[in-house]
């Protein structure tokens, strides 16, 4: 078993050797972990809440001392991940990232070349900023290029997502699992991995992966008319438009508006009255003031139809109606950790708080029986928001959604781009040269960004993904308990026993396959926390250097390509690309095989056993 670092105060428990029958502590802890994993895969409850409950239960049964329960919130990995998120937004606000990204798209390029260039740029950006932020920026460019080239955006969105995931493996700050593994190495070996220790293996794996997705992988995405055709329903919204006072539509039947709807390429799905959706298409129903027409179409066509039929939407009357010059239509994607996930716009009181209305929702071309304002929003949905320009940015930030169509949440301060890059580079240099720790260096960078106005103090805390922070902070003590009770050694012994006839690189391959499989269904931070002590225990059991096993866990925990739930980037693209759950493995399975085939020999070469 690896040595216990005093900072983790794990001397309070006598470690078991993991041999023979399981102890009572091990049985209880494995039971907690099984329930924890099951709840995380189920996804019914927020994963930070699940992790917090698991931490409390582990304390209550005596596996973690009460005074150690919340030490995870002060762990360097938690601090670094929070700071990386803030620095990433600073680089984007300064225009530094946009300066690079705006030169990469052209509708005239062949699709493999386009995918290759976008994936390379995504990988580079993901190495220096958070990979979710990199995807959010490049996704809008990719969708615009697809529309101009008149091809399905689904052909290039998944390769782009995979490219940003691969790029995160190149540096310490590129992806949270690398930070977790680096700090765990400091705990058990006394020294963390440095900024570019991940680069040799990460670059090799990313290069092979990008070549695959650019020339082979995208061809494996199934060709369904509704998902792959730009004429299909993938980009259509279901929206509601109110019949305002004095509208010429009052007194007409719904059917009488069909010609106007056809002219504007909009489908009228029905009528809502007094808070309820009327049955069927309501073709013969007479339209009254205050009714809502349920529409389906492209945002621009919906807006045009609403103007032609003299319709409006809730919350616009104080701004001069829908046609008022102060209003904007914004499309926004809902990421996994957005505030709006699992809630309704009615419950969030968006109009009252920000003067912005949810006009429509797009969910993989599905139609809804619920009112738009009462619809429970899911990760991957596309929202159509309408409101004054000055309110849209604040509302989007508050909801945690990512605007599309090249609309920005912040006014880019392009004159500060070079300064922002220089400050960031200086911070990284301070860390690499050993002058100060990475956490302190990034903290200094954040302070400089605040003083220069690159990021605002008002939005400082909003930039941190608190669900990830709480998840990590809660699972750090649980992972330590797994090690302290001998649970990690028990699992390591099982792996070693089952791979007794394999060389060290074969054992590493098995560990990576197990870790990668977990990461496809669990949060990658949780996977790294659980797999890291197992990797070190495996190395100790076969008398090998622990570094290649830690590096293998870092690579494998980052490579979640089989499902839309294994990585946030895969969840984000599901709606805009109109992907199904089973689409990911078609391209991702061979990519995961390639990661093993390239990663294992590269790790063995760079980090000898």
pLDDT tens track for 511-549: 999 999 888 877 788 888 888 989 998 999 889 999 999
457 SS3 class: coil
Q: Cite the DSSP H helix spans in 433-499.
A: 438-452, 466-484, 487-498
Rounded CA-CA distance 534/556 in Å is 13
- Taking alpha carbons only, the member of 325, 166, 322 closest to residue 240 is 322
Q: Which residues contact 304 (CB under 8 A, 6 or more apart)?
A: 264, 266
Rounded CA-CA distance 44/56 in Å is 19
Q: Cα dihedral angle (160, 165, 167, 170), rounded to 10 degrees?
A: -170
pLDDT beneath 70, residues of the chain: 1-21, 43, 95-107, 223-235, 314-328, 364-370, 389-390, 404-415, 458-459
The pLDDT of residue 413: 57
The pLDDT of residue 212: 96
Q: Which residues contact 238 (CB under 8 A, 6 or more apart)?
A: 269, 294, 295, 296, 360, 361, 362, 367, 368, 372
Q: Cite the DSSP H helix spans in 105-196.
A: 111-128, 131-149, 154-167, 176-189
Q: For residue 536, give the DSSP letter.
A: H
596 SS3 class: helix
Burial 387-413 (b: 16+ CB within 10 A, else e): bbeebbbbbbbbbbbbbbeebebbebb
The pLDDT of residue 324: 41
Q: For residue 297, give the DSSP letter.
A: E
Beta strands at 237-243 and 357-362: parallel, antiparallel or unpaired: antiparallel
Q: How far is CA 200 from CA 196, 313, 594, in A?
A: 8, 55, 16
User: 380 with 368: CB under 8 angstroms?
Assistant: no
240 SS3 class: strand
Rounded CA-CA distance 596/19 in Å is 30
**Helices 487-498 and 466-484, axial angle in degrees (round to 10):** 80
Q: What is the pLDDT of residues 23-41, one digit of tens each?
A: 888 889 889 888 887 887 7
Beta strands at 311-312 and 327-333: parallel, antiparallel or unpaired: unpaired
The pLDDT of residue 234: 46
CA dihedral sign, ordered 395, 400, 403, 407 = positive
- Tokens 């990585």 belong to 567
Rounded CA-CA distance 249/292 in Å is 11
Q: What is the pLDDT of residues 160-185, one digit of tens each?
A: 999 999 999 999 988 889 998 998 99
Rounded CA-CA distance 320/312 in Å is 10
């Amino acid at each position: 078993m690896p040595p216990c670092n005093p900072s983790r105060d794990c001397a309070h428990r006598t470690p078991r050797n993991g041999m023979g029958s399981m102890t009572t502590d091990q049985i209880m802890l494995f039971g907690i972990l099984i329930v924890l994993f099951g709840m995380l895969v189920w996804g019914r409850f927020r994963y930070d809440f699940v992790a917090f409950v698991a931490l409390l239960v582990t304390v209550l049964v005596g596996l973690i001392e009460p005074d150690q329960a919340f030490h995870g919130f002060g762990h360097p990995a938690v601090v670094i991940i929070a700071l990386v998120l803030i620095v990433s937004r600073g680089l984007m606000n300064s225009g530094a990232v946009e300066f690079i990204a705006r030169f990469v798209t052209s509708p005239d390029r062949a699709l493999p070349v386009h995918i290759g260039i976008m994936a390379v740029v995504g990988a580079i950006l993901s190495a220096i900023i958070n990979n979710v932020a990199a995807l959010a920026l490049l996704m809008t460019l990719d969708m615009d290029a697809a529309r101009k080239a008149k091809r399905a955006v689904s052909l290039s969105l998944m390769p782009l997502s995979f490219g940003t995931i691969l790029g995160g493996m190149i540096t310490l700050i590129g992806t949270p699992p690398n930070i977790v593994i680096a700090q765990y190495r400091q705990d058990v070996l006394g020294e963390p991995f440095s900024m570019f220790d991940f680069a040799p293996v990460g670059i090799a794996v990313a290069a092979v992966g990008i070549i695959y997705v650019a020339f082979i992988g995208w061809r494996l995405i199934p060709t369904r008319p509704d998902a792959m055709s730009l004429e299909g329903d993938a980009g259509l919204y279901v929206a509601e438009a109110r019949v305002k006072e004095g509208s010429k539509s009052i007194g007409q039947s719904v059917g009488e508006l069909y010609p106007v709807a056809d002219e504007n390429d909009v489908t009228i799905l029905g009528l809502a009255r007094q808070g309820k959706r009327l049955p069927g298409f309501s073709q013969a129903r007479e339209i009254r003031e205050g009714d809502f027409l349920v529409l389906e179409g492209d945002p621009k066509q919906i807006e045009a139809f609403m103007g032609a039929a003299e319709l409006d939407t809730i919350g616009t009357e104080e701004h001069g109606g829908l046609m008022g010059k102060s209003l904007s239509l914004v499309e926004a994607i809902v990421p996994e950790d957005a505030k709006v996930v699992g809630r309704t716009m009615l419950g969030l009181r968006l109009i009252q708080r920000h003067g912005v209305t949810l006009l429509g929702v797009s969910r993989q071309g599905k139609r809804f029986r619920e009112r738009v304002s009462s619809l429970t929003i899911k990760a991957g949905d596309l929202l159509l928001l309408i409101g004054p320009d000055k309110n849209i940015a604040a509302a989007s930030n508050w909801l945690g959604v990512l605007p599309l169509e090249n609309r920005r949440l912040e006014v880019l301060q392009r004159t500060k781009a070079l300064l922002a890059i220089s400050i960031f580079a200086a911070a990284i240099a301070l860390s690499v040269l050993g002058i100060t720790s990475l956490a302190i260096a990034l903290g200094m960078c954040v302070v400089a960004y605040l003083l220069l106005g690159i990021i605002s103090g008002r939005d400082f805390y909003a930039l941190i993904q608190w669900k990830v922070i709480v998840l990590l902070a809660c699972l750090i003590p649980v992972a330590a308990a797994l090690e302290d009770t001998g649970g990690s050694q028990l699992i390591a012994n099982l792996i070693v026993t089952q791979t007794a006839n394999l060389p060290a690189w074969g054992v590493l391959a098995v560990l990576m396959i197990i870790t990668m499989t977990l990461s496809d269904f669990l949060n990658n931070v949780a996977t790294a926390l659980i797999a890291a002590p197992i990797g070190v225990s495996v190395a100790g059991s076969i008398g090998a250097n622990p570094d290649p096993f830690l590096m293998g866990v870092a690579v494998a925990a980052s490579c979640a390509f089989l499902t839309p739930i294994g990585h946030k980037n895969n969840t984000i693209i599901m709606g805009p690309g109109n992907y199904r759950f089973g689409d990911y493995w078609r391209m991702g399975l061979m990519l995961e095989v390639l990661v093993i085939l390239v990663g294992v020999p590269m790790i063995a070469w760079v980090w000898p056993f």
